[in-house]
Structure 1
Amino acid sequence: MSLLRTVWWFIFFFGYLLYSLPTLKKLKKLPHTLTEEEKREITHRLPKNWAKNLVQLTRTKVSVSGEDNIPPGPVLLVSNHQGNFDVPILLGYINKPFGFISKIEVKKIPLISRWMEVMECVFLDRTDRRKAIMSIRDGVEKMKAGNSIVLFPEGTRSKGSKMNEFKTGGLRLAIDSKVPIVPIKISGSYVIMEKSKWGFQPGNVSVVIGEPITLPEGKIDSKELAVQLQNVIEQLK
């Protein structure tokens, strides 16, 4: 990716956030006559457009298959995590409104944190177990209220095609809220940034969405669930 294109990417990144300020203010005054679903659609419209443009500016091609597998209503979207562009790829190319489980450090980034708050994202402090548990409980309440959330159970980027072991903590979101789990496999996103020596480089990314998994009644072993989900996602094609 040329230096000029890289500079333009960053200009667009921050410029669009400034452009979004009036919209942020308007979102606080949405008519009460709108349904919660309609409010979510309106709230996520601008960030989804921003995210898709960020990916397109790198000249990356994204293909999505299986979107019909996402059921209506709240779901936990569980995806592998290859690179930093996984977030804008999922946000920009999957139509359903959703928030993310994010590191607490992201709250320090101006404007982005404000948008994440209106999108009902959950901020997780991994250094404090008590706060982490409280964040998961907050996420469960958000999902019970109808919001969907994306979880990267690897916890960090794999920076390649091989997945890291899935962690169990975030799976409490689905176990406790009783929402369906939708498995997602991202392939090729690490090429855009993690494989680039500087800036970004074009990639060919595929996003495969599997059939939803409805959890059984009764006690669920989160470790077994993590292994099951990793196996399912690895086999998606």
Structure 2
Amino acid sequence: MAGRSASAWTLRTAPTMLTGLLSTLFVSVLLREVARGGSDSPLVERILRLWGWSWLIPAGARVRVEGREHIQPGQSYVVVSNHQSNLDAMVHLAALGLPLRIMAKRELFALPILGPALRAIGMVEVDRARPDVVAIDSAARDVLASGRSLLVYPEATTSSDGTIHRFKSGAFAIAIGQGVPVLPVVLHGTRLIWAPGGNAIRGGQVRVVITEPITTGHLTPSDIAGLRDDVRAVLSSTLAVVSGAHI
């Protein structure tokens, strides 16, 4: 971002914020109504995809997904991704092609209108200061048992410099405990469109790279740290290749 202020507003900032926030309000109300008939409605997934695009299109994000062949239809995954921007969740929901629920910070669930909608469709609430492991495991188990995948950002916050920071272990404990594969996914480009802590939104290319899933059925709780480190290594090496390529 050298030579460009991430805090200054751009011509894309106001339309993106306005469209995205209005869409979020509308979708939150709509999802609560749809979820009355069950959060497993396919309509929920379509609404979430449209919501993602309602942010990405005005932001000028051009999304390219690679590695879809690694996704097995009907398989639930713990999807693990690096975290570079507030746009990341929108990219995953809009373009990944999986029915997703996200492990999200408790502060979002405290927001009026949005919070009840997140609960209604089964997003997983996490208090980062005092995580309730039993409640998180129960919510994650429900997501995976329903045939959906759980998206986790194990850095727990957006990267301040674009590199992949230290991972927390929760996602990997869940994957091993439930015996589902981990699906490593690398994002590159969202930080250049909307940097963490900034107001400047600029169009650009986003690459989503899906790597080979890592099976966990043979692993035990003693393997959590090793799995965590292996997945971080995969993401870091993939990001190094992607960020060095012309996009």
TM superposition score category, shorter chain reference: 0.7 to 0.9
Give how far 1:107 is off. Answer: 0.6
Candidates 121, 125, 132, aligned match of 2:127: 125
Q: What do the CA deviations read for 1:117-171 (whole angstroms, capped 9, x no partner)?
A: 2332100112224x24422332123312322110111111113331101111222
Counterpart for residue 33 of structure 1: none
* Residues 20 and 54, structure 2, Cα contact 8 Å, conserved in 1: no
Give how far 1:26 is off. Answer: 3.5
Structure 1: gaps spanning 5 or more residues: 31-35
CA distance in structure 2 between the partners assigned to 1:218 and 1:186 by the alignment: 27
CA distance in structure 2 between the partners assigned to 1:147 and 1:157 by the alignment: 24
- Which shifted more, 19-28 or 204-213? 19-28
**CA gap 1:160/1:89 in 2 versus in 1, 3 angstroms:** farther
**CA gap 1:146/1:8 in 2 versus in 1, 3 angstroms:** same
* Residues 35 and 121, structure 2, Cα contact 8 Å, conserved in 1: no
Residue identity (%): 23
Counterpart for residue 171 of structure 1: 172
Say what the alpha-carbon RMSD is for the aligned residues: 2.4
CA distance in structure 1 between the partners assigned to 2:69 and 2:110 by the alignment: 36
* Residues 23 and 54, structure 2, Cα contact 8 Å, conserved in 1: no
**CA gap 1:18/1:86 in 2 versus in 1, 3 angstroms:** closer
* Residues 141 and 177, structure 1, Cα contact 8 Å, conserved in 2: no
Moved over 4 A (4+): 1-4
Give how far 1:51 is off. Answer: 0.9
**CA gap 1:222/1:208 in 2 versus in 1, 3 angstroms:** same
Partner SS for 1:126: coil
1:187-206 to 2 correspondence within 5 Å?
Answer: 187-194=188-195, 198-206=199-207
TM-score (normalizing by structure 1): 0.86
Letter in 2 for 1:194: A
**CA gap 1:97/1:118 in 2 versus in 1, 3 angstroms:** farther
CA distance in structure 1 between the partners assigned to 2:154 and 2:49 by the alignment: 22
Candidates 32, 37, 40, aligned match of 1:24: 32
**CA gap 1:172/1:15 in 2 versus in 1, 3 angstroms:** same
Counterpart for residue 145 of structure 2: 144
* Residues 99 and 121, structure 1, Cα contact 8 Å, conserved in 2: yes
Candidates 81, 88, 91, aligned match of 1:89: 91
* Residues 102 and 152, structure 2, Cα contact 8 Å, conserved in 1: yes
Partner SS for 2:151: strand
Report the number of matched residues: 229
**CA gap 1:102/1:5 in 2 versus in 1, 3 angstroms:** same
CA distance in structure 2 between the partners assigned to 1:9 and 1:150 by the alignment: 24
* Residues 77 and 148, structure 2, Cα contact 8 Å, conserved in 1: yes
**CA gap 1:45/1:114 in 2 versus in 1, 3 angstroms:** farther
**CA gap 1:199/1:103 in 2 versus in 1, 3 angstroms:** same
Letter in 2 for 1:169: G
Partner SS for 2:59: coil
- Which shifted more, 115-124 or 169-178? 115-124
Counterpart for residue 232 of structure 2: 230
Give how far 1:102 is off. Answer: 0.6
- Which shifted more, 202-211 or 10-19? 10-19
Structure 2: gaps spanning 5 or more residues: 1-7, 243-247
Q: What do the CA deviations read for 1:204-234 (whole angstroms, capped 9, x no partner)?
A: 2111001111114252421111110011122
CA distance in structure 2 between the partners assigned to 1:51 and 1:223 by the alignment: 32
**CA gap 1:228/1:22 in 2 versus in 1, 3 angstroms:** closer
1:12-161 to 2 correspondence within 5 Å?
Answer: 12-20=19-27, 21-22=29-30, 24-29=32-37, 36=40, 39=41, 41-71=42-72, 72-129=74-131, 131-161=132-162
